[in-house]
Structure 1
Amino acid sequence: MSQAAGIPAGRRVAVIGSGVAGLTAAYVLKGQDRVTLFEADARLGGHAHTHDVPQQNGPTLGVDTGFIVHNERTYPTLLRLFAELGVKTQDSEMSMSVRCDGCGLEYAGARPNGSGIIPRPSTLLRGRYLRMLLEVTRFHRRARALLAEPAAGPDTVSGTGTGTGTELTLGEFLAREKFSSYFISHFMTPVVSAVWSCDPTTALAYPARYLFTFLGHHGLLGVKGSPQWRTVTGGSRSYVDKVAATLPDIRLASPVTAVHRHDDGVDITSALGAGTVRETFDAVVIATHPAQALRMLTDASAAERDALGGMPYSVNQTIFHRDEAVLPASPNAQTSWNYRLPSCDARPDKVLVSYDMTRLQRLEPADGGRYIVSLGESELVDDAAVLDRMVYEHPQYTPESLQAQQRILGLGDERLAFAGAYHGWGFHEDGALSGLKAAARLGRDWDPVNIGTVNIGTASMDPVAVDPDLQPATLQPATVQPATVEAP
């Protein structure tokens, strides 16, 4: 890892938070500095959360319930980390279904031979659904047309300013273009809610240009063009463990309660048993959620309070289980991602989606059953089938929070930097990229000669062949190379 001129090697640097942002920052910084990694939880990884599931007469399965998928098109930073660590990955199956308990509709996309579009003969009798399919192609055209319009102002990410192109929310765009309520409830809000783990009302408040930019980058504004999705072989914990093996000073179950800057460095106060301990570091990366970062800062500036306090998060109750009743009834409509509507017109205050990890990770359970991760469906899952319960939080994107995001990107200096997936689209690549940029803020860059080879089983990605425009140093958070669809 290279160092900036005038910044000595061997500094004592604290990284607070061991999600992908903190892990990437620590990995880059440890090349020149003495890094201490603080984690409030008893495990590392944040949303990289793998559960060991013993199998009768077979090997234990590692099942992910947080970060699951990535791709080679829009994950350059994460792929480089995987390459250097020798992380093995494999193809994943990415498909999505919608099930409505109100009208009984079930359908799925990305199923073999289009079998999920008309999963059963009776689907052909659903006039509203058939008209909705025509609206999907019209939506793709109108979304691409919006992206071709001039932005409302110089800031195309936050949508601030004025100009010839009105910056609309998704709901305003759909109303302007006169899309049907059936299309909105049975196609549009399920897509956004499932991707960002947000409730339907919040989904409609997302800025349309921001959302369509994301969909366009991932080939989702048409019927073709999506990248091949991949998952970490054996579970995402494998990359977490490999990063951890390079860090000699890791403090688990050590929540940081205070961060205080002064002329001689930065004081970190953390829990130690029943008491606390205060240590002085030369520099610090705070790689937590923004509200958590703000609570730690004893001397937060007005700008920090304004920016870090402006990014809301959703709280998702998540269940790891084996109850297949949450999946669509028709086998042709059962997919990797399964979205559920309680009724045609309902806008529940939570997302209802189940991820079939058996498909996503290509698992082979000894008993032939399925491992499922469900968000918001606690009352629908048989308690006897529950393996674990978790709480995951996800950033929410509104015109106001995107403006806060832009202010957050301007925070930090050579002794304190912020990192987190909230710097971008909220996904794993955004976290990794923000960690890389936090290290750069502290004067440490990723040496380009250290790129290895990504082990993808049947083939390898030659790093020399990677488009130089995708190298991490050239990327800008939230505006170039967004992260991708991942769960939950």
Structure 2
Amino acid sequence: MRIAVIGGGISGMLSWYLLQQEHQVTLFEANDYLGGHTATVEVEVAGQSYAIDTGFIVFNDWTYPVFNKFIGELGVEKLDTEMSFSVKNLKQNLEYNGNTFASLFAQKRNILRPSFWRMLADIVRFNKLGKQLVAADHPDLDLKLGEFLQKYKFGKGMRDNYLLPMGAAIWSAGLTEMPSFPVRFFLRFFNNHGLLNLADRPQWAVIKGGSKRYVDALLNKVGTHNLRLSQQISSVVRNEQGVIIHFANGTTEQFDKVVFACHSDQALALLGNNATTDEQTILGAIAYQQNEVVLHTDTRLLPQRRAAWASWNYNLDATERSRATLTYNMNILQRLQAPVTFCVTLNNSTAIATDKILGSYRYAHPVYNMMTMAAQLKRNLINGQNHSYFCGAYWYNGFHEDGARSAVDVAAMFGIQY
């Protein structure tokens, strides 16, 4: 069969890789590069070149089985990394890094601060309770996160200085959105990733030399003759014979099947009036949110105390509340030896010194709420119907593995197991 895959992120790349084993597959990408959120930027400092990841950065040995298998087949080398998390709240004169006992009390006054000890006690109680409720499939998992924290009387310190920033950092969401997160979704993710454990957590890793290395390895393995970059598709029309792709330049191409490996809202826009009622309802219920990403070297966005610097650093002092405001310390994450500290900051560009900015980008992430979870359960109503298949991280937890997993789901519908 002739199959069109629309979208060159992890979902599209893995769909292309798997489906072409038995079919003639063409991958269409709107950007002039392949990779989507796999976006490594080459920068030069003091005569030395560095490859800095600005989108997809980390994965682990517990919950990324498909992606680990994929890069293993491509022969890509990975590096173990540290996944630590800090919070800075200057209004409360508070900062901490939860990685070690020493970094937890990098701000010495935390030792004598009763509110800090209450926060730690609440974290331990939340972890224990979360495990119990997940194991019992408790009805309270159907609450929203804000309702859950209130019902079980968790303190404001734990809520505002730990749990909501942690969730916002993980899902690139806003603090204002987090209280509406479904508890079942939230706790299931935390439990699966070992975040409810004080110890026994997965080993996190990065791609050695930048995440783009696995994209390069893919192209070296499969070639580029069925890859079409900078493709502006205006619409997709299905009929009894198959699929017609209409391009912005007025040309059309016919395929037997189409795989929408783009975001849910993008797929719906391409279908336009040709979308079925189920497609409109299901894809329309899964929204995406834009996040501004800045690569820079301004360490003022990290905690004041170097001992509190972490891989992920949440800044509660930023005025933006509807978007995540955190800074990744790329020297820690990518194990870089450099004369400067490379930082990647979300949604806090006005706080960054302009002479330290190396690049600005925008990436969209799925929004998770009750509507999203309900729509995820109805994927079978549209997947494989009307010669069309839908894959993307939005069907699961929104991460790289989820995009890869959804591509495997689509390949299985064509009889290709992975």
For 1:224-275, what per-residue CA distance to the aligned partner results, in whole angstroms no more than 9, with x for missing partners?
121110000111111112223314221111022111111221111123xxx2
Q: 1:256: which partner in 2?
A: 233
Q: 1:336: which partner in 2?
A: 311
For 1:188-207, what per-residue CA distance to the aligned partner results, in whole angstroms no more than 9, with x for missing partners?
10110000011112111111
Could you tell me which amino acid in structure 1 is paired with residue 227 of structure 2?
A: I
- CA–CA distance in 1 between the matches of 2:43 and 2:359? 11
Contact map agreement 2:320 2:347 (CA 8 A) in 1: no
Displacement after TM superposition at 1:151 (Å): 4.5
Could you tell me which amino acid in structure 2 is paired with residue 63 of structure 1?
A: I
Displacement after TM superposition at 1:395 (Å): 0.8
Could you tell me which amino acid in structure 2 is paired with residue 424 of structure 1?
A: Y
> 1:188 pairs with 150, 160, 163, which one?
163
Please list, as runs of the form range in 1=range in 2, the aligned pairs for 1:115-126 lying within 5 A after superposition: 115-126=102-113
Could you tell me which amino acid in structure 2 is paired with residue 278 of structure 1?
A: T
- SS in structure 1 of the partner of residue 378 of structure 2: helix
- CA–CA distance in 1 between the matches of 2:399 and 2:135? 25
Could you tell me which amino acid in structure 2 is paired with residue 392 of structure 1?
A: Y
Contact map agreement 1:189 1:203 (CA 8 A) in 2: yes
- CA–CA distance in 2 between the matches of 1:225 and 1:400? 33
> 1:326 pairs with 279, 282, 301, which one?
301
Please list, as runs of the form range in 1=range in 2, the aligned pairs for 1:195-210 lying within 5 A after superposition: 195-210=170-185
- CA–CA distance in 2 between the matches of 1:353 and 1:90? 23
**Residue 140 (1) aligns with residue 112 (2):** no
> How many residues of Structure 1 are paired with residues of Structure 2 in the alignment?
414
Q: 1:17: which partner in 2?
A: 7
- CA–CA distance in 2 between the matches of 1:236 and 1:89? 9
> 2:246 pairs with 266, 269, 277, which one?
269
Contact map agreement 1:201 1:347 (CA 8 A) in 2: no
Displacement after TM superposition at 1:166 (Å): 6.0
Q: 1:27: which partner in 2?
A: 17
Q: 1:441: which partner in 2?
A: 413
Please list, as runs of the form range in 1=range in 2, the aligned pairs for 1:77-92 lying within 5 A after superposition: 77-92=66-81
- CA–CA distance in 1 between the matches of 2:413 and 2:138? 30
- CA–CA distance in 1 between the matches of 2:71 and 2:383? 27
Displacement after TM superposition at 1:308 (Å): 0.4
- CA–CA distance in 1 between the matches of 2:320 and 2:141? 26
**Residue 403 (1) aligns with residue 374 (2):** yes
**Residue 96 (1) aligns with residue 82 (2):** no
Contact map agreement 1:412 1:441 (CA 8 A) in 2: no
Q: 1:348: which partner in 2?
A: 321
Displacement after TM superposition at 1:57 (Å): 4.3
- SS in structure 1 of the partner of residue 176 of structure 2: helix
Displacement after TM superposition at 1:441 (Å): 2.0
- SS in structure 1 of the partner of residue 103 of structure 2: coil
Please list, as runs of the form range in 1=range in 2, the aligned pairs for 1:265-304 lying within 5 A after superposition: 265-271=242-248, 275-297=249-271, 298-304=273-279
Contact map agreement 2:265 2:288 (CA 8 A) in 1: no
Q: Per chain length, whose mean CA-contact separation is higher, i.e. which structure has more relative contact order (CA < 8 Å, sep 6+)? A: 1
**Residue 316 (1) aligns with residue 291 (2):** yes
Structure 2 length normalisation: TM-score?
Answer: 0.95
If each structure's helix is expressed as a fraction of its own residues, which one has the higher value? 2
For 1:391-439, what per-residue CA distance to the aligned partner results, in whole angstroms no more than 9, with x for missing partners?
1111111111110121234422273210100011000000001111112
Contact map agreement 1:409 1:423 (CA 8 A) in 2: no
Could you tell me which amino acid in structure 1 is paired with residue 25 of structure 2?
A: V
- CA–CA distance in 1 between the matches of 2:124 and 2:146? 18
Could you tell me which amino acid in structure 1 is paired with residue 17 of structure 2?
A: Y
- CA–CA distance in 2 between the matches of 1:444 and 1:258? 28
- Cα pair distance change 1:193/1:177, threshold 3 Å: same
Q: 2:209: which partner in 1?
A: 234
For 1:16-74, what per-residue CA distance to the aligned partner results, in whole angstroms no more than 9, with x for missing partners?
0000000000000111112111001111101000001124344x221101110111111
- Cα pair distance change 1:421/1:166, threshold 3 Å: closer
Displacement after TM superposition at 1:220 (Å): 0.8
Contact map agreement 2:141 2:182 (CA 8 A) in 1: no
Contact map agreement 1:96 1:110 (CA 8 A) in 2: yes
Displacement after TM superposition at 1:101 (Å): 1.9
- Cα pair distance change 1:293/1:53, threshold 3 Å: same
Could you tell me which amino acid in structure 1 is paired with residue 382 of structure 2?
A: L
Could you tell me which amino acid in structure 1 is paired with residue 69 of structure 2?
A: R
- CA–CA distance in 2 between the matches of 1:399 and 1:268? 33
Could you tell me which amino acid in structure 2 is paired with residue 96 of structure 1?
A: F
For 1:96-152, what per-residue CA distance to the aligned partner results, in whole angstroms no more than 9, with x for missing partners?
1000021110100114xx211111322223221122111111111221222133454
- Cα pair distance change 1:139/1:347, threshold 3 Å: farther
Structure 1 length normalisation: TM-score?
Answer: 0.82
- SS in structure 2 of the partner of residue 61 of structure 1: strand
> 1:417 pairs with 381, 385, 389, which one?
389
Q: 1:381: which partner in 2?
A: 352
Q: Which moved more, 1:172-181 or 1:261-270?
A: 261-270
- CA–CA distance in 2 between the matches of 1:318 and 1:197? 11
- CA–CA distance in 1 between the matches of 2:72 and 2:118? 46
- SS in structure 1 of the partner of residue 206 of structure 2: strand
Contact map agreement 1:146 1:209 (CA 8 A) in 2: no
- CA–CA distance in 2 between the matches of 1:283 and 1:240? 24
- CA–CA distance in 2 between the matches of 1:409 and 1:49? 31
Which runs of 5 or more structure 2 residues have no equivalent in the other structure? none
- SS in structure 2 of the partner of residue 115 of structure 1: helix
- SS in structure 2 of the partner of residue 351 of structure 1: coil
- SS in structure 2 of the partner of residue 102 of structure 1: helix
